[in-house]
Amino acid sequence: MDPEGFWGDIAGHFYWRKRWDKVLEWNFRDPKVEWFIGGRLNITENCLDRHLGSLGNKPAIIWEPNDPEEHHRVLTYRELHTKVVQFANVLKNNGVQKGDRVCLYMGMVPELAIAVLACARIGAIHSVIFGGFSAQSIADRLMDAQAEYVITCDGAYRGNKEIPLKSVIDDALVQCRFVKRVIVLTRTRTPVSMIKGRDVWWEDEIKKVETMGNPDCPAEEMDSEDPLFILYTSGSTGKPKGVVHTCAGYMVYTNYTFVNTFQYEPGDIHFCTADIGWITGHSYIVYGPLSAGATTLLFEGIPTWPDAGRFWEVVDKYKVNVLYTAPTAIRSLMGFGLGPLQGKQLSSLKVLGTVGEPINEEAWHWYNENIGKGRCPIVDTWWQTETGGVLISNMAGVTPAKPSYATLPMPGVQPVLVDENGKEITGNNVSGNLCIRFPWPSIIRTTYGDHERCRTNYFSAYENMYFTGDGCYRDEEGNYRITGRVDDVLNVSGHRIGTAEVENAINMHAGVVESAVVGYPHDIKGQGIYCFVIFQGSHGDENLNRQDITQTVSRIIGPIAKPDKIQFVPGLPKTRSGKIMRRILRKIAEGELENLGDTSTLLDPAVVDEIKKGRL
Ligand code: WTA
């Protein structure tokens, strides 16, 4: 095996201002990983400029609005290029320079993709924040990244809701006086307050560039290892981590995995239903498809509005060939039965994909039979924000699928199972913690502003390996099946949420003495959030107290982290040294009230019975 030779050949298919001198240098001790060393490039030249000759008139982005009555939009590669250049000039006019951090808090509109690419064009580092995060979460991220520029919308549509994005940004910026400029795109015409000297309208800024005669904006020449973006994700501690990806490795790997996992063929319409606020949207709505010259579909709405047939309607409307979605969406749509599928053809579909969480067999078969009509391979793609692209998956129609298995690693990827002591578990039909032995081009480079955190989080648990945080089973034939997180991270509807983050938020409520949060199996969300709370609040109505706590979590983190269950308890099961025994709480939340294991080391074993009695 020769990974360097392999990736060097693949990288040769891109447009480089200067070819690299050396493919790879690495050690997992520091950690230090560098790919395509000495190479010079700009990812937007690979996503846009190089396609203009042959694909200029081809649709790059098809945008389906939230409201099916509103007109959709199509941007050809030429049009997208023009708009990216225009907005790149807007950024420059507003003082943004190479290396500056730009925070994007927008809905799923084409301008979000345009803003992402415009940042990359001038070498600014984008940090997209999902629209479901609160002002406090945004402020935390802005401070961590020291981002002086924000791009947002007046509001966003999601189903029958209107989210006042600019107003949330205004709340966040009360704490972030270092933000110099906020560029606001008009979408919903939600009333906003524009602060003099700080806030400007997207449309006005575009007009200024037009008055200047729409000058070109040559792409900034970047080093292979210059940062491309920061994306925050939850870990087992309270504070989200800014995962850093760099220009060349990320480009090569997302393109490679896009083309191979989905077996992309020129002309395919690719519909990834994720939000660009998550890594899936970065890699498989924006960079992967565009670097391959594909047509990517960007959908503003949600699967269940105006009704639960919306995905299928969109598939038929644009003759979608590849549909890539999350198991939670499949399970939720399954719940509506076959009614919403009436009259839908779905005959354009060739490949289906899933991502973000384990898919249960029932959902897999429903997807296969009712959506793929038994003739579309399903790829179950396992990967993470930190991995940048798909690491373990079957390849559509090339390698076999197995329901609920991600199956085999992508070429060049070397998974290892280890036990708690770090000893490798060899052979088949075994379970362990999933690690990766050798770097791939889009491996996390650092956590922004805190390299030591990157080391301790991912590279210190097991020597010379990247630790994923996932548990995994390897079957008789060597297929991998991801069984879920082994750290204190929840996966709620495919969204990563740290239990410590939720606990910190709950503990902010004045009436809360202490709390412990664990996950439990949830039919649709995959995992639900179960909170054990010691409460000494004023009013006696338990439900009101629950609502107040839920409201607090929504305020501190965002609506995506709202607890599913809140149980008030007299105490928490603690060891004599004061450590909460989460294992016990997890079992109770799961409904497994017998066999709680050894409780003799607890400070107060009686509290366990109380908690069991009060289980929701
Ligand atoms: C989980 C999303 C099972 C896993 C791309 C991982 C999966 C976490 C799968 C990363 C899959 C992702 N099967 N579990 N196919 N894909 N996961 O960073 O626990 O939002 O560690 O990246 O999602 O979530 P993240």
Cα four-point dihedral sign 12, 17, 19, 23:
negative
Question: Which residue spans within 129-265 are E strands per DSSP?
Answer: 149-153, 156-158, 161-163, 181-185, 199-201, 222-223, 227-233, 241-246
**Alpha helices (runs of H) in 335-473, residue ranges in sequence order:** 361-366, 451-454
Give 211 Cα–ligand 1 centroid separation in angstroms: 46
Peptide bond into 573 cis (omega under 30): no
Given the CA of residue 468, which atom of ligand 1 is nearest to it? Answer: 21
Can you give the pLDDT at residue 523? 94
Q: Of 552, 567, 559, whose CA–CA distance to 520 is shortest?
A: 567
**Alpha helices (runs of H) in 247-360, residue ranges in sequence order:** 247-261, 279-281, 288-291, 310-318, 327-334
Write the pLDDT tens digit of every residue in 195-231. 999 999 999 999 999 999 999 999 999 999 999 999 9
Which pLDDT band, with edges at 50, 70 and 90, does 601 fall under? confident
The pTM of the whole model exceeds 0.85: yes
Find the Cα–Cα–Cα–Cα dihedral 148, 289, 274, 491, rounded to 10°.
-90
Q: Tell me phi and psi for residue 232, to 5 degrees.
A: -80, 140
Closest C-alpha residue for ligand 1 atom 7: 357
User: Where does residue 519 fall: left (phi above 0), alpha (psi -120 to 50 degrees), or beta otherwise?
Assistant: beta
Using most ligand atoms within 8 A of CB, pick from 496, 497, 527, 560 the residue to mutate for ligand 1: 496
Which pLDDT band, with edges at 50, 70 and 90, does 538 fall under? low
Given the CA of residue 469, which atom of ligand 1 is nearest to it? Answer: 21
| Average confidence score pLDDT of the chain | 96
Write the pLDDT tens digit of every residue in 399-423. 999 999 999 999 999 999 999 899 9
More confidently predicted of 174 and 420: 174
Give 436 Cα–ligand 1 centroid separation in angstroms: 15
Can you give the pLDDT at residue 566? 97
Residue 26 and residue 32 in contact, taking contact as beta carbons nearer than 8 Å: yes
Write the pLDDT tens digit of every residue in 433-458. 999 999 999 999 999 999 999 999 99
Give 520 Cα–ligand 1 centroid separation in angstroms: 17
Given the CA of residue 484, which atom of ligand 1 is nearest to it? Answer: 19
Give 401 Cα–ligand 1 centroid separation in angstroms: 18
Residue 290 and residue 298 in contact, taking contact as beta carbons nearer than 8 Å: no
Which pLDDT band, with edges at 50, 70 and 90, does 557 fall under? very high
In which element (H, E) is residue 5 found?
helix 3-11
- Average confidence (pLDDT) over 139-151: 98
Given the CA of residue 354, which atom of ligand 1 is nearest to it? Answer: 15
Using most ligand atoms within 8 A of CB, pick from 241, 354, 380, 383 the residue to mutate for ligand 1: 383
Give 383 Cα–ligand 1 centroid separation in angstroms: 5
Which pLDDT band, with edges at 50, 70 and 90, does 598 fall under? confident
Give 491 Cα–ligand 1 centroid separation in angstroms: 8
Using most ligand atoms within 8 A of CB, pick from 382, 387, 391, 436 the residue to mutate for ligand 1: 382
Given the CA of residue 386, which atom of ligand 1 is nearest to it? Answer: 18
Of the listed ranges 56-60, 488-492, 539-543, the least confidently predicted one is 539-543
Can you give the pLDDT at residue 1? 77
Closest C-alpha residue for ligand 1 atom 14: 357
Give 328 Cα–ligand 1 centroid separation in angstroms: 12
Write the pLDDT tens digit of every residue in 1-33. 799 999 999 999 999 999 999 999 999 999 999
Label the pairing between strands 430-436 and 415-418.
Answer: antiparallel
Write the pLDDT tens digit of every residue in 361-379. 999 999 999 999 999 999 9
Share of the chain above pLDDT 90, in %: 94
Closest C-alpha residue for ligand 1 atom 4: 357
Can you give the pLDDT at residue 596? 84
Can you give the pLDDT at residue 236? 81
Residue 117, beta-bridge partner list: none
Given the CA of residue 233, which atom of ligand 1 is nearest to it? Answer: 18
* Whether residue 600 has pLDDT greater than 90: no
* Whether residue 597 has pLDDT greater than 90: no
User: Where does residue 441 fall: left (phi above 0), alpha (psi -120 to 50 degrees), or beta otherwise?
Assistant: alpha
Q: How far is the C-alpha of 380 from the C-alpha of 357, rounded, in Å?
A: 9
Can you give the pLDDT at residue 25? 98
Give 492 Cα–ligand 1 centroid separation in angstroms: 11
Number of other residues whose CB lies within 10 A of the CB of residue 300 = 21
Give 443 Cα–ligand 1 centroid separation in angstroms: 15
Closest C-alpha residue for ligand 1 atom 3: 358
Which pLDDT band, with edges at 50, 70 and 90, does 534 fall under? very high
Which pLDDT band, with edges at 50, 70 and 90, does 238 fall under? confident
* Whether residue 543 has pLDDT greater than 80: yes
Write the pLDDT tens digit of every residue in 256-294. 999 999 999 999 999 999 999 999 999 999 999 999 999
Residues 6+ apart with CB under 8 A from 265: 321
- Average confidence (pLDDT) over 593-599: 84
* Whether residue 539 has pLDDT greater than 80: no
Which residues lie with the beta carbon below 6 Å from any ligand 1 atom? 233, 278-280, 355-358, 380-385, 406, 468-470, 482, 485, 491, 496
Number of other residues whose CB lies within 10 A of the CB of residue 464 = 13
- Average confidence (pLDDT) over 472-477: 98
